[in-house]
Each structure stands twice: as C-alpha cells, then as structure tokens.
C-alpha cells in the first residue's frame, strides 16, 4: 500500500493520455513561426487559460516553472530583490516552511543583508495571526506562510493572513503545494499576491509547477535568457508537462470534494487507532484544521527509520514527515519548532493517503501498526521508558 502521497503521487492515466500527443505530434517550439510552432503555442495558451480559469485569475499571471521549489525561489528571491531597492529589507515567514522557502529566505539574509523574522508556531505548527500583525512594518519586503504543512498537515487561514499583510501594504506569498488536492484555491478568495504549486503532488508529472503573480507585481527573474513566460522564466516551454499540469489540476478540482469525503474517515480511523492502541504516541498537527488525507504522529523512544523499514517489510510505504529528510539524522525542524523534544521528534510517522487507498489497506495497516511499534521498543530496550 502506497501511503506517501504527500511525497509524490502517481501520474493519473488521463494525464498521461493528455500529454502523449505533445511528445509525438505537437512537438514544435511555441516560439517558432511555422505551423508546428503555432500549434504548440496555441496549446500552451489553452493550457494557461485552463489553469487561470481554475485558479480564477488572469492567464498572464500564471508562470510555469520546473516545480514548487523553483516557484518558491522565484517568488521570494524575485520579489525581495526588487523590494530591497525601495528600502524594504525585512522578510517574515514561519519555521514550518518547506526548505525551498526557508533556505531561500536564509540565502537572502546571508547574501543580501535582509533581516529574517521567524514567527513562533504553537503545538499544532500554526502561527498566531496577531504575531504576524505585530511583526509587519514599513520595512517588510514580503511575507510567506505555508497553506498546508507537508509534515504535520496543519492548515493556515491564508485569506486572514493575506488581509493583515495588505493592511500593512506588504505582499503575501503562500506555498500551496500540499493544499492543491484538497483545499480551496481561488485566488480572489485567498487574496494572495503570489502562490506556488507543483504538479507531482496532484497526480501530474514531476518537473513542472507554477507561480501565480498578481498583475502589476514586479519580480527579478532567477534565470536570464529569452522572453518566455512573460520574461520571468526563460527557456523553451516544456509543453507536454504543462499540458499534464493543466489536466491534473482540472481533475484534482473536479474530484476534490468526493476524495476528501472518502479519505477523511480513513485518516480518522488511523488517528483513533494510534490514540487508543499505541502507548506513548501523539498526533502531530492540528486535530481538525488538517488535510483530509494526512495523518502524522510522533512515537516516543522510536527511531523513525526503524519504523519505516518495519512497515515497508509489511508492505506499507510511509514516511517520517518529509521526503527531503531522507538520510538526515537530525530531528525534524518542524516538530522541534512545535515544541517536541528529541525523544519524541526522532520518532515521527506520516501516513498520507490518496486515490488508490482502499479500506482494506487501512484495516490491514491498523492491524499491524501497534505490534510493530511495540516490537521496535522491545528490541531497543525502550518498552517501559517514560
């Protein structure tokens, strides 16, 4: 059973079908004058219009990138460097951002002299909007707050946070990568100025994402070259992957409610099991304001890698919290920011369900998890620790 949909999802068959003609027939360069080029350009325009229709924004505000990491870097670096020229030299984000946000912010701090303010998070990994309000100043260049957290699934109230930023005249970015499948994504409702997505989290191909940029907001490009993507992201457009992203987004939007309603109870079954049957365990992230496919836990005196290996042997692919942490012996930065000490934060487990998940998989998982945790504690001599 594949329970790691927050790391990546399989590409939907319908998405593969939609992409194939753009490898085989319509392979022209959208910048070429001949009819192969014109056909490719028409398909590119159509895909951009479809995405814009789904997000309820202007097609010109959609820039295709290589994925959410690039979108985050482009949004933050691109805007911060422009805003620095106006004297705005402060950045605000949270300690529970994805590394592609946090490390871009840190780079801006080290290389360009920005002052980075990290807002505190509570035990659920959520910020208090009044902390954001107090941190904002006339020197704030931008704010970035993750929509739904990849490790613990907690959701932030993006429209409220964006409204606070706008009252202070500060642009607001959100990394919506984990939210795309399950949460509202209308730009007018979210009120964001910048928003990042990556297609492989919503059953699209890897290597393609997008950045929404509010019309009128000027960014410095990361790369320099041709005038593709409104001059913001040079290089010949990867048309097949762009078509795949648009198709995957359309399907995700049309199936969102049904999938959320199907997966929510299965997620709750796992949460209930852990709460009742696994000693010295706790749910990480918010119990209610969380993604419907996402259950995450910390087990005291358990090593995540031992747990993941034992689950793998039983046929379950889960993760410790984030795919980017593979091989990293340090406790999760996100869990530490939420106040968990080392004896807990080294034992994290993320179970992220998806379109292929069935009730019988969940039942089997619930049958084996408590005994696996117990066995690992016995083997490591930690069964009776407190």
Q: Which of 73, 17, 47, 75 is nearest to 245 (CA)?
A: 47
Interface residue with ligand PLP among 63, 77, 150, 174 (CB under 6 A) is 150
DSSP 8-state symbol, 141: E
Between 88 and 199, CB nearer to ligand PLP: 199
How many residues can be counted in the chain?
Answer: 386
The pattern of x and - marking residues 193 through 212 that bind ligand PLP according to CB under 6 A reads -----x-x--------x---
DSSP 294-358: EEEEEETT--HHHHHHHHHHTT-B-BSS-GGGTT--SPPHHHHHTT--HHHHTSEEEEE--TT--
In whole angstroms, how large is the CA radius of gyration of the chain?
A: 22
Interface residue with ligand PLP among 26, 73, 177, 180 (CB under 6 A) is 177
Q: Does 67 bind ligand PLP (CB under 6 A)?
A: yes
- Closest approach of ligand PLP to the CB of residue 216, in Å: 25
**What are the residue numbers of the active site?**
324
Between 39 and 151, CB nearer to ligand PLP: 151
Which part of the chain contacts ligand PLP (CB under 6 A), choosing from 34-42, 67-75, 238-246, 330-338? Answer: 67-75
How far apart CA 68 and CA 63 sit, in angstroms, is 12
Q: Does 94 bind ligand PLP (CB under 6 A)?
A: no
Which part of the chain contacts ligand PLP (CB under 6 A), choosing from 14-22, 152-160, 171-179, 187-195? Answer: 171-179
- Closest approach of ligand PLP to the CB of residue 149, in Å: 7
Interface residue with ligand PLP among 163, 323, 326, 379 (CB under 6 A) is 323
Which part of the chain contacts ligand PLP (CB under 6 A), choosing from 173-181, 243-251, 260-268, 271-279? Answer: 173-181
Q: Are 295 and 266 in contact (CB under 8 A)?
A: no
Q: Which of 241, 79, 101 is nearest to 171 (CA)?
A: 79
Q: Does 4 bind ligand PLP (CB under 6 A)?
A: no
Residue 154 — φ and ψ, nearest 5°? Answer: -70, 145
How far apart CA 245 and CA 64 sit, in angstroms, is 9
Interface residue list for ligand PLP (CB under 6 A): 67-69, 98, 100, 146, 150, 175, 177-178, 198, 200, 209, 323
């Amino acid at each position: 059973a594949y329970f790691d949909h927050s790391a990546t999802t399989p590409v939907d068959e319908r998405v593969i079908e939609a992409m194939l003609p753009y490898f085989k027939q319509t392979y022209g360069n959208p910048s070429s004058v001949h009819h192969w080029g014109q056909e490719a350009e028409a398909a590119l325009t159509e895909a951009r219009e479809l995405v814009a229709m789904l997000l309820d924004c202007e097609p010109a505000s959609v820039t295709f990138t290589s994925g959410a990491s690039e979108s985050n870097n482009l949004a933050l670096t691109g805007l911060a460097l422009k805003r620095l020229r106006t004297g705005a030299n402060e950045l605000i984000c949270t300690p529970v951002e994805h590394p592609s946000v946090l490390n871009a912010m840190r780079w801006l701090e080290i290389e360009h002299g920005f002052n980075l303010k990290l807002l505190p998070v509570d035990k659920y990994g959520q910020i208090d909007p009044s902390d954001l309000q107090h941190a904002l100043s006339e020197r704030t260049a931008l704010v970035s707050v993750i929509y739904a957290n990849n490790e613990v699934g907690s959701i932030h109230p993006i429209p409220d946070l964006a409204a606070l930023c706008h009252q202070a005249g500060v642009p607001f970015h959100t990394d919506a990568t984990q939210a795309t499948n399950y949460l509202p994504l209308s730009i007018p409702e979210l009120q964001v100025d910048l928003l990042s997505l990556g297609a492989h989290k919503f059953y699209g191909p890897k290597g393609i994402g997008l950045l929404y940029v509010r019309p009128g907001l000027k960014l410095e490009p990361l790369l320099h070259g041709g005038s593709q993507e409104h001059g913001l992201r040079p290089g010949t457009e990867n048309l097949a992957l762009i078509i795949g992203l648009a198709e995957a987004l359309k399907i995700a939007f049309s199936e969102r409610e049904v999938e959320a309603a199907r997966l929510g109870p299965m997620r709750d079954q796992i949460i209930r099991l852990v709460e009742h049957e696994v000693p010295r365990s706790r749910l990480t992230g918010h119990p209610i304001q969380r993604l419907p496919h996402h259950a995450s836990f910390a087990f005291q005196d358990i090593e995540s890698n031992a747990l993941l290996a034992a689950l793998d042997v039983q046929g379950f692919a889960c993760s410790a919290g984030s795919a980017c942490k593979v091989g990293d012996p340090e406790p999760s930065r996100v869990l530490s920011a939420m106040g968990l000490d080392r004896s807990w934060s080294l034992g994290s487990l993320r179970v992220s369900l998806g379109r292929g998940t069935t009730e019988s998989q969940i039942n089997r998982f619930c049958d084996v998890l408590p005994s696996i945790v117990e066995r690992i504690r016995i083997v490591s001599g930690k069964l009776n620790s407190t």
